[in-house]
Structure 1
Amino acid sequence: MSLTTYRETAHTNNYEFTSGAGYVLPEYEFVPPPELNSEARVRHPIVIVGGGITGLTLACSLARLGVKAVLIDEDNTVGVKGASSRGICYTQKSLEIFQRLGIFERIAAKGTQWSVGRTFAGDDEVYNFDLRQQGNFHLSSQPPFINIQQFYIEAFLVDRVQELGAVELRWQNRLTAFEQTADAATLTVETPAGSYRIEADHVIDATGSNSPLRKWLNVPFDSRRGDDRWCIADVRFTTHPPAERHTWIEAPFNENRAVWQHLMADDVWRIDYQMAPNADPAYVSREDVVRERLARQFGPDVGVEIVWVGPYAYRSECVHAMRHGRVFLMGDSAKVVSPFGARGGNTGVADADNLAWKLAAVLRGKADAALLQSYQDERLEAAQQNVCVTNRTARFLRPADGSERLFRQAAISLAKQYPFARSLINTGRMAVAQPLQPVQRVHLRNRQRGRPVGAERAFPMGRRHPRPGQRPAELGPGRSAGAGVRRPRARRAAAPAPTLPGRAGAQRAGARHRRRARPGPGTRARPQGPPAGGLPCVRPRLGAGAPRRLPRRHRRNHQRPAGHGHRAFPWPARRQNPMRQDLHFQDADAFYEQLLDAHAGLSREDAELLNARLILLLANQIGDAKVLKACIEAAKRTPS
């Protein structure tokens, strides 16, 4: 073993320009790995490269399942160089995973729960939400969100891995070279005490957005970089702002640029300021400049302690595949998103949760190796969706000059008066769990007979985690893969609609169909009233030539004169204002993006001509002069 000069971990994301007292992070001791003193090549089943939130979540998940693995990280602490707060919002799905890993109680005790958010344009509130009022959040015992600095969660994961054993954490171990063959992957690792080589059956790339493995493997990816610039200020106040998530699209105290306001652990407020595109990161992060910015927002007499300040810029990237031979990409190694909507770290946690139980099943011989391909299929779709969603938010917050800025101005002005336009206000679509989708068949091995059996997984990527006993992920020592798997009953064939006439028959028909048909994503909700021609009667059952005769028990209601007794179908009264004011978009963000794309690259004259044609076409689609008149009057009286 020979001592070497170990290169310090480099700064990322312009964090070399940080200021403030900073956070005190734990430091972990370097322990010389046994391979340094041995010439024999050691082979490990799993090597995780990167000790961020994604890599540590995978390590903790494997340790909980009793699967041996090694994690290497180039630093000797959690967080990143520059001691930033980084990710701070953790979703209900991530909290469910942390509950299973045994660290949720620590997170809940340290962090801050929240569910209410308000968005402002100037002094006007244009959008608000309360996540606790949304039905899907009541399916879990975890709160909708907890705000906590990312390094706290990483430290809790380190402690839990050490409690569980099975996974070895190696600090100040930097990956410097990599190669793979059909037999194994070989990693060259540098440490303060020298270099060594190890082999692995599976390598997990959790090194983040500057992944060296991606470069060595020549992984193809799509990338997009804008000119949006931000500056974070983590501060403690002597006078406290409201304990709610506040955002400003156009903040008068920040030159009409966006501002975010979040409460985190330790009574620290995270304030994100959108900067000018050409802002100098060294200047905007100076303490005196930050204090001036805070005074404009909270008043000249505000008392603050600056904990940490850091400028940042973002980009979006997404690989074309998340598996390359023996290497699995996860977290920011697979996709990079803008920081809007809490879709960065939470996606990495879901990636780790998805892959851990599959690796455990395959390594124990309880599932075919083909099961690992489902990680690529499921999590790549999630990565692509998250990149798409966050790119739309970035486009709304930093619109291009011309038509895009004009559309945003129109959306903000309409949102102050009309509910439908509030859905266009996009300051970040918060990451939520998806409803269950049709099941996917996964072949596991029956331990008693040694043959593949079908187990139904009703929770593909990105969906809400099922209840205990529903997943084959619970592969503790001595358990078979089939144990505890809840197999859904075979769906009954769709029956024809009931044909009983009258109000009672309509109610029973509607109730039965509501029980059988649960709309999924993209499924359009059907109106509760009858079809245009009324409900089908008994005639179809008797044949086309049969006389239209009602059963005796139903004749009375149909023969009763108007105004006597109940109406079979109570239709709502016509609204006074013919213009629709409620939400009618199936996907407001996609709708808005289509309009922006249609105007991209057009001159002002061409854009005006396109708008004139579009108005005429849409007017024809409306087909009602009263509705068109109401829309014109609403557009005229909407203030800019």
Structure 2
Amino acid sequence: MNKIFEVPLYAYDRSPDQDAPAPVRHKVAVIGAGPVGLAAAIDLAQQGIEVVVLDDNDKVSFGSRAICFAKRPLEILDRLGCGQPMVDKGVQWNLGKVFFDDRQVYDFNLLPEEGHARPAFINLQQYYFEEYMVNRVRELQEQGAPIEIRGRNKVEAIGTHPDHVKLEVETPEGSYTLEADWLIACDGAGSPTRRMLGKDFVGRVFEDNFLIADVIMDADFPTERWFWFDPPFNKGQSALLHKQPDGVWRIDLQLGWDIDKEREKRPENVIPRLKAMLGEEVQFELEWVSIYTFQCRRMEQFRHGRVIFAGDAAHQVSPFGARGANSGLQDTDNLIWKLKLVMEGKAPESLLDSYDMERVHGADENILNSSRSTDFITPKSEMSRILRDAVLDLSEHHEFARPLVNSGRLSVPCTYDGSPLNSADALDGPARTRPGSPCPDAPLGDEFLLPKLADKFTLLTIDADAPDLIEEDGVEVTRLALSIKDDATLALKERYLGDNDSGVYLIRPDQHVAARRPSFDEPQIRAAIRRATGKE
């Protein structure tokens, strides 16, 4: 059994703050050293912003927990300097299969086109994910970056003020007080920060439960996502199978609503269910067992003055579609560049309201898709079940029915349609790269596009002239000049130009399109920069 989650990675160490005569003021404090909190902290440190991470634990998460990490978050992790070890360790997959009873009714490919550096998904236990992120923190510390993780530092009280936040922190050696200009709460679904501020979720709790079992076994199932509706081994319910590294397999079994959760987690009850699925002859060992209840909820607002919520602390979805941790990483990707500009005085504080607007939009999109998946997977009436089963039967032989099958609409990056940061579209180009969209990757010889966009404003010109550098009210925009003459695969043309001969894109630090034009027009681009930084 893997014991990595028992090793303290950021053991308690007394901080100088605990002996200071007055509370020490930090630039940013992050509560929670899970994937989302660590992503926020790494991003801040890479931008040269001092950050301290406070966590009531001192080690990675117990059990694999989140395991499916999608292409867009992997691209974000590349920018944070920790994507490659995760891809190297993770199990890569693009293909999913859907079964009804004991029949495969169809399969699907989540990344059918070529020309992307990253796969549609990897499966990787959360404890590895967090370990690699902590390793990245250590690398940054060795390089002199202003980042610190404090284990066994539990935030017990929060005081909010117009220009800072005050935190009361409990440690094994007593309590102390610190202050921060800004606080990012990434302390999970049960967020103590949310409770201390008197905030709550709005949304739905579905009347159903799933058993999660991480099983160590030597099995010959392919590296695919398998989902069963009404399988013989779990009649009237559903099931899910994923492969993870180290011979670990994730199995999800729907149990229904009226259950004794503690009883269902006992090995003597879990093992017979797994044997019914895998066969009596299969030898396996339980690594981790849990039960989750479907929830699709969010805070009404993610920003409350100088306290900003991200990840599960801000929103929850049922796990079908792998939208939890993936959306949390997109939260921090959206937030940190805006916070940096505000802290540097290069953007008004109101720019942070666009974080709230854009990521609430993303949460609502995830909740809508997750709710629809849950309703399809767990029909609440006999008529709903009859209709669902008819769709599944039809999907085996009729392609038109397959889009109606919903075993979890898998995570895709959010497009911020209607964002106040978008400029009007002046290029009749591909829909996938309209303003608000995340930039799709494209091959550039032996390299790829997205790493060249880095974490700053970029003016991407494709067969168009423009200055190499534009500065607008303190914000620098550097040019990336490309040509379809060097585009052997034509992916760049197909994804960014369509039928046009040239194009100019203003791309935000989070690699979302802010504006696009057929050619460079300086007044229009400068206006687009002001708009993208909340000044218009």
TM-score range, shorter chain: 0.7 to 0.9
The residue identity in structure 2 corresponding to 1:473 is K
Select the residue among 256, 260, 263 that pairs with 2:243: 263
Select the residue among 241, 247, 266 that pairs with 2:221: 241
2:106 equivalent to 1:127: yes
Tell me, in whole angstroms, the C-alpha distance in 1 between the residues paired with 2:128 and 2:148: 20
Which stretch of structure 1 is more off in the superposition, 325-334 or 416-425?
416-425
Is the contact made by 1:435 and 1:464 (CA closer than 8 Å) also made in structure 2? no
Is the contact made by 1:26 and 1:155 (CA closer than 8 Å) also made in structure 2? no
Is the contact made by 1:173 and 1:190 (CA closer than 8 Å) also made in structure 2? yes
Residue equivalent to 2:20: 38
Tell me, in whole angstroms, the C-alpha distance in 2 between the residues paired with 1:183 and 1:439: 27
> Secondary structure in 2 aligned to 1:196?
strand
The residue identity in structure 2 corresponding to 1:73 is D
The residue identity in structure 1 corresponding to 2:73 is S
Is the contact made by 1:22 and 1:307 (CA closer than 8 Å) also made in structure 2? no
| Residues 214 and 464 of structure 1: CA distance in aligned 2, closer, same or farther (over 3 Å) | farther
| Residues 359 and 37 of structure 1: CA distance in aligned 2, closer, same or farther (over 3 Å) | same
Could you report, residue by residue, the CA deviation over 1:237-270 in whole angstroms, capped at 9, with x for unpaired residues? 2342232211101111112311100001112111
Offset of residue 206 of structure 1:
0.5
Offset of residue 442 of structure 1:
8.2
Is the contact made by 2:415 and 2:437 (CA closer than 8 Å) also made in structure 1? no
Residue equivalent to 2:476: 482
Tell me, in whole angstroms, the C-alpha distance in 2 between the residues paired with 1:436 and 1:70: 30
Is the contact made by 2:91 and 2:223 (CA closer than 8 Å) also made in structure 1? no
- Higher gyration radius (CA): 1
The residue identity in structure 2 corresponding to 1:189 is V
Q: RMSD of the TM alignment (CA)? A: 2.9
Is the contact made by 2:320 and 2:408 (CA closer than 8 Å) also made in structure 1? yes
> Secondary structure in 2 aligned to 1:482?
strand
| Residues 232 and 438 of structure 1: CA distance in aligned 2, closer, same or farther (over 3 Å) | closer
Tell me, in whole angstroms, the C-alpha distance in 2 between the residues paired with 1:111 and 1:468: 20
Tell me, in whole angstroms, the C-alpha distance in 1 between the residues paired with 2:418 and 2:273: 51
The residue identity in structure 2 corresponding to 1:56 is L
Residue equivalent to 1:376: 356
Could you report, residue by residue, the CA deviation over 1:462-502 in whole angstroms, capped at 9, with x for unpaired residues? 66587355576379xxx9731326699xxxxxxxxxxxxxx
The residue identity in structure 2 corresponding to 1:156 is Y
> Secondary structure in 2 aligned to 1:484?
strand
Is the contact made by 2:5 and 2:60 (CA closer than 8 Å) also made in structure 1? no
Tell me, in whole angstroms, the C-alpha distance in 1 between the residues paired with 2:24 and 2:4: 38
Unaligned runs of 5+ in 1: 1-19, 444-456, 489-511, 519-640
The residue identity in structure 2 corresponding to 1:88 is I
Residue equivalent to 1:190: 170
Unaligned runs of 5+ in 2: 424-432, 442-448, 459-470, 483-496, 504-536
Could you report, residue by residue, the CA deviation over 1:487-531 in whole angstroms, capped at 9, with x for unpaired residues? 99xxxxxxxxxxxxxxxxxxxxxxx9954999xxxxxxxxxxxxx
Is the contact made by 1:23 and 1:307 (CA closer than 8 Å) also made in structure 2? no
Written as runs of structure 1 = structure 2, the 5 A alignment for 1:197-212 is 197-212=177-192
| Residues 149 and 354 of structure 1: CA distance in aligned 2, closer, same or farther (over 3 Å) | same
The residue identity in structure 2 corresponding to 1:26 is V
Written as runs of structure 1 = structure 2, the 5 A alignment for 1:41-190 is 41-79=23-61, 83-133=62-112, 135=113, 138=114, 140-165=116-141, 166-190=146-170
**If each structure's strand is expressed as a fraction of its own residues, which one has the higher value?**
2
| Residues 205 and 460 of structure 1: CA distance in aligned 2, closer, same or farther (over 3 Å) | farther
| Residues 77 and 471 of structure 1: CA distance in aligned 2, closer, same or farther (over 3 Å) | closer
Could you report, residue by residue, the CA deviation over 1:10-34 in whole angstroms, capped at 9, with x for unpaired residues? xxxxxxxxxx887644303101122
Tell me, in whole angstroms, the C-alpha distance in 2 between the residues paired with 1:112 and 1:196: 43
| Residues 461 and 380 of structure 1: CA distance in aligned 2, closer, same or farther (over 3 Å) | farther
Is the contact made by 2:95 and 2:109 (CA closer than 8 Å) also made in structure 1? yes
Written as runs of structure 1 = structure 2, the 5 A alignment for 1:448-597 is 460=436, 464=440, 467-468=450-451, 470=453, 473=456, 481-484=475-478, 514-515=499-500
| Residues 23 and 240 of structure 1: CA distance in aligned 2, closer, same or farther (over 3 Å) | farther
> Secondary structure in 1 aligned to 2:52?
strand
Offset of residue 409 of structure 1:
2.2
> Secondary structure in 2 aligned to 1:241?
coil
The residue identity in structure 2 corresponding to 1:297 is M
| Residues 196 and 88 of structure 1: CA distance in aligned 2, closer, same or farther (over 3 Å) | same
Residue equivalent to 1:254: 234
The residue identity in structure 2 corresponding to 1:66 is G
| Residues 322 and 434 of structure 1: CA distance in aligned 2, closer, same or farther (over 3 Å) | closer
Offset of residue 225 of structure 1:
1.0
Which stretch of structure 1 is more off in the superposition, 197-206 or 33-42?
33-42
Tell me, in whole angstroms, the C-alpha distance in 2 between the residues paired with 1:22 and 1:259: 27
The residue identity in structure 2 corresponding to 1:483 is V
Query: So what's the TM-score if we normalise by structure 2?
Result: 0.79
Select the residue among 394, 407, 423 that pairs with 2:403: 423
The residue identity in structure 1 corresponding to 2:456 is A
Is the contact made by 1:23 and 1:308 (CA closer than 8 Å) also made in structure 2? no
Tell me, in whole angstroms, the C-alpha distance in 1 between the residues paired with 2:498 and 2:16: 64
Is the contact made by 1:433 and 1:463 (CA closer than 8 Å) also made in structure 2? no
Could you report, residue by residue, the CA deviation over 1:189-242 in whole angstroms, capped at 9, with x for unpaired residues? 111111111111111011111112222323353121122111112112234223
Offset of residue 143 of structure 1:
1.1
> Secondary structure in 2 aligned to 1:483?
strand
Could you report, residue by residue, the CA deviation over 1:298-354 in whole angstroms, capped at 9, with x for unpaired residues? 221111122222222231211111111111111011111000001000001111111
Tell me, in whole angstroms, the C-alpha distance in 2 between the residues paired with 1:462 and 1:338: 24
> Secondary structure in 2 aligned to 1:76?
coil
Select the residue among 343, 364, 369 that pairs with 2:344: 364
2:7 equivalent to 1:26: yes
The residue identity in structure 2 corresponding to 1:370 is S
Is the contact made by 1:470 and 1:484 (CA closer than 8 Å) also made in structure 2? no
Is the contact made by 1:434 and 1:464 (CA closer than 8 Å) also made in structure 2? no
Offset of residue 415 of structure 1:
1.9
Is the contact made by 1:366 and 1:481 (CA closer than 8 Å) also made in structure 2? yes
The residue identity in structure 1 corresponding to 2:70 is T
Tell me, in whole angstroms, the C-alpha distance in 1 between the residues paired with 2:177 and 2:406: 48
Is the contact made by 1:330 and 1:351 (CA closer than 8 Å) also made in structure 2? yes
Offset of residue 46 of structure 1:
0.6
2:201 equivalent to 1:225: no
Is the contact made by 2:354 and 2:419 (CA closer than 8 Å) also made in structure 1? no
> Secondary structure in 1 aligned to 2:170?
strand
Is the contact made by 2:456 and 2:477 (CA closer than 8 Å) also made in structure 1? no
> Secondary structure in 1 aligned to 2:394?
helix
Is the contact made by 2:362 and 2:414 (CA closer than 8 Å) also made in structure 1? no
The residue identity in structure 2 corresponding to 1:157 is M
The residue identity in structure 1 corresponding to 2:34 is G
Is the contact made by 2:5 and 2:63 (CA closer than 8 Å) also made in structure 1? no
The residue identity in structure 1 corresponding to 2:332 is A
Is the contact made by 2:294 and 2:317 (CA closer than 8 Å) also made in structure 1? yes
Tell me, in whole angstroms, the C-alpha distance in 2 between the residues paired with 1:472 and 1:149: 27
The residue identity in structure 1 corresponding to 2:7 is P
Is the contact made by 1:469 and 1:485 (CA closer than 8 Å) also made in structure 2? no
Tell me, in whole angstroms, the C-alpha distance in 1 between the residues paired with 2:438 and 2:189: 21
The residue identity in structure 1 corresponding to 2:475 is A
Which stretch of structure 1 is more off in the superposition, 284-293 or 178-187?
284-293
Residue equivalent to 1:589: none
Tell me, in whole angstroms, the C-alpha distance in 1 between the residues paired with 2:138 and 2:99: 45
Tell me, in whole angstroms, the C-alpha distance in 2 between the residues paired with 1:123 and 1:517: 52
Tell me, in whole angstroms, the C-alpha distance in 1 between the residues paired with 2:59 and 2:258: 33
Offset of residue 413 of structure 1:
2.4
Written as runs of structure 1 = structure 2, the 5 A alignment for 1:325-336 is 325-336=305-316
